[in-house]
């Protein structure tokens, strides 16, 4: 986009800042017990002040109140939302349409902040006014360049009493990923895949090792067919005699912890944290890196006896782990 075009776009979107999204929204129903009960059912909520008039009297509230995080629910549009909005219905939609028409087709909720002045009581009608509060400079983000749009909603009851406020921030972005862009245009519907363990590279020198783990359910140790020396991790040539001939033996699985570290951060999807990452001394003498399972991080120690277990991920990938040895 040329500088001039961008300037014009930014002038156009900045004109929305400070504008109310639309008229004040008045909750269709006053705060009522049936809607509170339905909410509590779904949330697994058993709070006495939300559900039981007698018990509520014994709490700091003194009467039935609505769950605080339900505040926005009282002014949600409800059924009409299922129709979506191809044609913009309010200022917020118009702002989003301007950006979408300029290639910022992606939208992602990023942050909210709710302040609850007090809990809502039965019979109160909630009124909400939402204003387009701010639009950021253009930012480079992990999903593409875009603008953060913050709306601010203030909530009052029928008498104008302050009930709280909410800020909601969304990112409107140009999808960096071409596939995502294509799917927006309906050309290909890329479906997100559940993240799983990052697979090790499996090449000519080590692929056989992973295949053996999967097919035989053992930890293979590479052995030189010329001088019988064991080696791990797998590599093409014996460091003792230089031979490239090899076969493998199955490790007994008995080992001791040589050293360890506990990984808390960074957390990648597809793994369970914390991870107790270990280097073990195999009974056969070789050393290998692995993960210790069925053991709390505070219980691992150098020298502890462990035994191998072949772990299988949800996607069928098999990998040797260790667990504390049975006594």
Partner 1 sequence: MQKTKKIDELEVGQELPPLDLPITATLVAGGALASRDYTPVHHDRDAANAQGLPDMFMNILTTQGLCSRYVTDWAGPDAIVTRVRTKLGGPNMPGDLLKIRGKVVSTEGKDADVEVSGNNAWGNHVTATFTLRLP
- Footprint on this chain of partner 1 (rule: CB under 8 A): 35, 38-39, 41-49, 55, 58-60, 67-70, 72-73, 76-82, 84, 108-116, 119, 180, 183, 189-195, 267-270
Q: Which 8-state DSSP code applies to residue 24?
A: P
Helix, strand, or coil (residue 8): helix
Residue (66 or 292) nearer to partner 1, CB: 66
Shortest distance (Å) from residue 101 CB to partner 1: 19
Decide if 299 contacts 306 (C-beta within 8 A): no
| Six token digits for residue 91 | 């200022």
Q: Toward partner 1, which CB reaches closer, 20 or 48?
A: 48
| Smaller CB separation from partner 1, 199 or 235 | 199
Task: Give me the least distance between CB of 212 and partner 1, in Å please.
Answer: 28
Beta-bridge partners for 116: 164
CA distance linking residue 202 with residue 152, whole number of Å: 52
**Smallest distance, Å, CB 175 to partner 1?**
10
Q: Please, which residue, 44 or 303, has the CB nearer to partner 1?
A: 44
- Please, what sign has the CA dihedral across residues 102, 103, 106, 111? negative
Q: Which CB atom, from 100 or from 180, has the smaller least distance to partner 1?
A: 180
Q: Which lies closer to partner 1 via its Cβ, residue 30 or residue 48?
A: 48
**How far are the Cα atoms of 172, 179, 199 from residue 103, in angstroms, in the given order?**
10, 15, 35
Sign of CA dihedral 152, 158, 159, 164: negative
Minimum distance of partner 1 from residue 114's CB (angstroms)? 5
CB of 41 to partner 1, least distance (A): 7
What DSSP element (H or E) covers 41?
helix 33-43
SS3 (DSSP) at 51: helix
Nearest approach, Cβ of 284 to partner 1 (angstroms)?
A: 35
């Amino acid at each position: 986009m040329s500088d001039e075009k961008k300037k014009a776009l930014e002038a156009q979107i900045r004109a929305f800042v400070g504008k109310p999204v639309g008229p004040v929204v008045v909750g269709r129903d006053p705060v009522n017990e049936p809607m509170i009960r339905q909410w509590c059912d779904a949330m697994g909520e058993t709070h006495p002040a939300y559900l039981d008039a007698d018990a509520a009297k014994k709490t700091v509230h003194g009467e039935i109140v609505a769950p605080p995080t339900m505040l926005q629910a009282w002014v949600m549009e409800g059924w009409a939302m299922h129709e979506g909005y191809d044609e913009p219905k309010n200022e917020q939609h118009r702002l989003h349409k301007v950006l979408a028409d300029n290639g910022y087709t992606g939208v992602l909720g990023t942050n909210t902040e709710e302040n609850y002045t007090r809990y809502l009581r039965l019979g109160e009608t909630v009124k909400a006014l939402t204003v387009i509060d701010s639009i950021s400079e253009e930012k480079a983000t992990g999903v593409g360049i875009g603008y953060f749009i913050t709306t601010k909603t203030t909530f009052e009851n029928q008498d104008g009493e302050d009930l709280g406020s909410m800020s909601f921030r969304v990112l409107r972005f140009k999808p960096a990923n071409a596939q995502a862009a294509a799917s927006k245009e309906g050309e290909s519907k890329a479906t997100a895949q559940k993240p799983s363990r990052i697979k090790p590279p499996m090449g000519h020198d080590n692929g056989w090792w992973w295949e053996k783990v999967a097919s035989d359910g053992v930890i293979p140790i590479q052995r030189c067919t010329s001088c019988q020396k064991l080696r791990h991790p797998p590599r093409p040539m014996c460091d003792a005699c230089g031979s490239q001939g090899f076969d493998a033996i199955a490790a007994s699985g008995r080992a001791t912890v040589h050293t360890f570290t506990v990984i808390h951060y960074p957390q990648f999807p597809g793994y369970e944290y914390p991870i107790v990452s270990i280097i073990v001394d195999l009974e056969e003498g070789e050393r290998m890196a692995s993960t210790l399972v069925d053991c709390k991080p505070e219980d691992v120690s150098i020298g502890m006896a462990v035994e191998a277990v072949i772990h299988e991920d949800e996607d069928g990938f098999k990998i040797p782990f260790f667990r504390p040895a049975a006594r």
